[in-house]
């Protein structure tokens, strides 16, 4: 049992070691949670960016999506880099079971170490990416994400051999309608398999990117890696969480934890266990989404929540995890 000092204005209590990881074993250097009151993309700015039509982003700045989408990519790329460097894996836990016996109910059963495909990020200084701010990074590297669109190629010009480019010979004696029809027919023949080998970084087509749920998942993962308790996690995200879920049950339990008479009546462990159950039933899915996003960012894709392939997961050996792996 661990004597828990009250750092958040809550009462003293005693918690089983397996329930409350009050000593942080891992500290991230380059990645910190994004507090909503300090967020550079407040709701007003996000709304203004969303108003622009997608074709306007392409024609005006050469990007497929609004600027905040690339900010999200930058944040997740930074996190992949630090997790790879510190050997912090993404992980699976035993399914949470709501019980007052906390022994072994959330053991880590599988891990997946992130390995960044560096060739996909050619043109970006990945070492520098770890430490520079978003404003610096976008000035230096946002051009990497820009697509060139259609341009005229004159006789004698050098041609690019990358799979994302296609060259056509056009007979200008045809009408515009005829040429457009023929162009569309040619596009249909483009092999999607060939295009998938492209090293161009592009936001995946037909994906809706919601800013606040992604930031919430990013925050939750960082906090869990650093060993923060569920009280602190909720307080740090108290402006985001109510916009994503029904939070009244959270607020009720947190209110009880602040009142000595409630803690005496119900017991700190029991109340904290209620809070843990609420986290796993209502919030942990955002963290799981973030793990999938991180894996796909390591492969050069955003935003992709495709499941991590089974062969990438390693089961815990009987001898325990390898030395140097920081399981959280």
Q: What is the DSSP string of 8-25?
A: SS---EEE-TTT---S--
- What is the rounded CA–CA span in Å between residue 78 and residue 116? 11
pLDDT in tens, 260-312: 999 999 999 999 999 999 999 999 999 999 999 999 999 999 988 889 999 99
| pLDDT at residue number 132 | 96
- Helix (H) or strand (E) holding 253, with range, is helix 248-257
* Average confidence score pLDDT of the chain: 82
Alpha helix (H) residue ranges in 11-111:
43-51, 54-61, 67-86
Cis peptide before 303 (omega within 30 of 0): yes
Sheet order of strands, 90-93 included = 90-93, 108-112, 314-315
- What is the rounded CA–CA span in Å between residue 83 and residue 78? 9
| pLDDT at residue number 105 | 56
pLDDT in tens, 77-128: 999 999 999 999 999 988 766 555 554 457 899 999 999 999 999 999 999 9
Answer for the pair 10, 257: CB distance below 8 angstroms, yes or no. yes
Q: What average pLDDT does this structure show over 32-52? A: 84
- What is the rounded CA–CA span in Å between residue 175 and residue 179? 6
pLDDT in tens, 131-168: 999 999 999 999 888 765 566 777 766 665 666 666 77
Over the range 31-56, which residues count as b (16 or more CB within 10 Å of their CB) and which as e? Answer: bebbebeebebeeeeeeebeeeeeee
| pLDDT at residue number 206 | 64
| pLDDT at residue number 12 | 40
């Amino acid at each position: 049992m661990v004597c828990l000092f009250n750092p958040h204005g809550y009462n003293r209590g005693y918690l089983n070691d397996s329930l409350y990881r009050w000593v942080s074993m891992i500290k991230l250097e380059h990645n910190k949670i994004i507090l909503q009151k300090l967020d550079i993309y407040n709701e007003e700015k996000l709304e203004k960016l969303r108003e622009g039509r997608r074709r306007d982003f392409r024609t005006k700045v050469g990007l497929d999506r609004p600027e905040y989408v690339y900010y999200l990519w930058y944040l997740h790329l930074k996190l992949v880099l630090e997790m790879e460097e510190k050997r912090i894996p993404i992980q699976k836990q035993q399914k949470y079971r709501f019980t007052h016996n906390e022994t072994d109910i959330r053991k880590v059963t599988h891990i997946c170490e992130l390995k960044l495909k560096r060739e996909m990020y050619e043109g970006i200084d990945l070492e520098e990416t770890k430490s520079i701010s978003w404003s610096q990074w976008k000035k230096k590297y946002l051009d990497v994400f820009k697509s060139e669109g259609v341009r005229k190629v004159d006789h004698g010009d050098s041609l690019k051999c990358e799979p994302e480019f296609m060259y056509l010979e056009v007979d200008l004696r045809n009408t515009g309608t005829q040429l457009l029809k023929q162009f569309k027919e040619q596009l249909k023949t483009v092999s999607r398999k060939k295009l998938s080998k492209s090293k161009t970084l592009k936001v995946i087509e037909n994906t809706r990117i919601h800013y606040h749920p992604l930031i919430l998942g990013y925050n939750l993962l960082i906090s869990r890696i650093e060993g923060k308790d569920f009280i602190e996690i909720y307080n740090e995200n108290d402006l985001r969480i109510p916009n994503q879920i029904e939070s009244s049950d959270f607020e009720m339990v947190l209110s009880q934890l602040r009142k000595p008479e409630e803690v005496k009546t119900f017991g700190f462990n029991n109340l904290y266990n209620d809070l843990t159950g609420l986290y796993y039933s209502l919030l942990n899915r955002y963290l799981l989404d973030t793990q999938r996003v991180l894996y796909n960012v390591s492969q050069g894709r955003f935003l992709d929540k495709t499941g991590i392939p089974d062969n990438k997961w390693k089961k815990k050996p009987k001898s325990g995890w390898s030395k140097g792996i920081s399981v959280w």
